[in-house]
Every structure is written in structure tokens, then in C-alpha cells.
Amino acid sequence: MDLKLKNKVAVVTGGASGIGLATARLFATEGANLFLWDRADSVVSVAQDLSKEFGVKVAGIKVDVTDSASVQDALKNTLVVFSRVDHLVHCAAIGSGKFGFPFTNLKPSDWTKVLHVNIMGMVNIAHAIAPVMVNQKEGTMVFIASVAGQMGSQTDPPYSASKAANINFSQCLAKDLAPHQIRVNTVCPGMVQTPLNQAVWKAWHDQASPSDSLGYEEWSQKKINAIVPLGKWQTVDAIADMIVFLSSCRAGHVTGQTINVDGGFVMHS
């Protein structure tokens, strides 16, 4: 299926690793040019490697999404290099690192950074990119949320609440930007073996009763079998498949939607 992404320009935040990098790679295989925005020092070298591997133009820049000035500076650099932004994929996010059961195990101070990065980071990105796409009279935005944002997950309450906000704000954006032919959607990963998810699940594992004290890999697979109807972890590539499809003309009538790539987990819960 030709997604007609050749020579389009995609900005991917959090593009140096994980879901962001998998998404960037898939855009590159479709012939799109890319600008990776990430706080990691490796973002420039990752961009160079992608450019060499796929023969498309890829640039990278360090960005702090919580700093509006940093985001605006990245946008200026992007427009100097490419002059436009056709597709935005916003993956940058963090968890609290405090996996409390219940939320009373947390302190109010545990919430601040998560909400700042995950909510205000999205706000800063949206305010920067939207005017460019409005001026073009076209574009797509895909924001990465989580199934945790739909089900009041106890795993990491600050993260869960921030992802619910991401879903809601995406819907606001979709309504406001539709008259300009800009589509906005949210993709919610389920159980993906990212460093964040692994930290969460190891916290669960460490709190398991002695009778459940299996090795981590065996224990986590047992849990996946119990709560994910398809019985398997999702992969970063599976998430990227949905993101790139939603960004393409093949999803030209899809906006304001929240798409779960979760093996049926939300249905099960």
C-alpha cells in the first residue's frame, strides 16, 4: 500500500529511541524526510544514521519540550532546513518513577514533573506546530497517550492522569483544526517493552507474594497472558505502524480518534 509519504516532512519528538525512533524509521522507509526532536545527546547521531541507512534527509536537535523557547527554537531550525512540517508525532513523555498502590503512597510533589512534561510539553508542541500547519492548510498530528489514560490505572497515577489529559486535548485540537484540513489523532499503546514499562512491571514483580515469586521474564509473561487477550507484548514497530498509517492520506477521513494498539487489553479490563 502506497502511503504517499515520499518527500513529506515529519517531526518526531522523542525520536531518538523507543516508539519515536521506530516511527521515524518507518517514515524513512516510506521516503519521508525527518527532523527528530529529543532531549537526548544522541539525537543528532541517530538522525545521521537514519539518513545514511534510508537515503532520506534527517536532522536532529536537542529540545526540552517543557521549555517553550526551546520548542520554538527547534521549530525555527526545522523550517530553515525543510520550510514546512507535514506531520507531527509527539512521543516525548515520562513516568513518575513512583509506582504506588494506592496513590496515597505518593506525595503531591511526585506529580509536578510528570504533569509538566506530559501535559505542558504537549501544549508547547501544539502551540508551536499548529500555526505552521494552519498556514499550509494541511497537516497531521499524532499524539502518543496510553491505555492508562482511559482506565484510571493505579500503576502510576500521575502518568495515567497526564495521558487522560493528552487524549482530551487531542480531541480539542481535532475540533479546532479540522476547518484547516489538519487531522489530529491519539494512539494508545498497551503493554510495550519500553524502559518505562519494564520499570513499572519490575516494581510489580518486586511486590509479588513469595508464592508468585517467579523469575521476572516468566512472571511478566504470565501476567501478559492473563490480562492481554492476544497474549503477547506489543512492540514499538506495531505502534509505529498505526502512527504512520494515521499520518498518511489512507486515513484521510480519520480525526479526533483514540486508537488503541493494545492486544485487546482495554477490552479485557
Which residues are tagged catalytic? 159
Among candidates 199, 204, 267, 260, which has minimal Cα distance to 234?
Answer: 260
The residue length of the chain stands at 269
End-to-end Cα spacing for the chain: 34
Task: Give the CA angle between residues 182, 51, 123 to the nearest 5°.
Answer: 35
Backbone angles phi, psi at 33, to 5 degrees: -90, 155
Q: Answer whether 61's CB lies under 8 Å from 36's CB.
A: yes
Q: Which residue from 125, 33, 117, 19 is spatially nearest to 74, judged by alpha carbons? A: 125
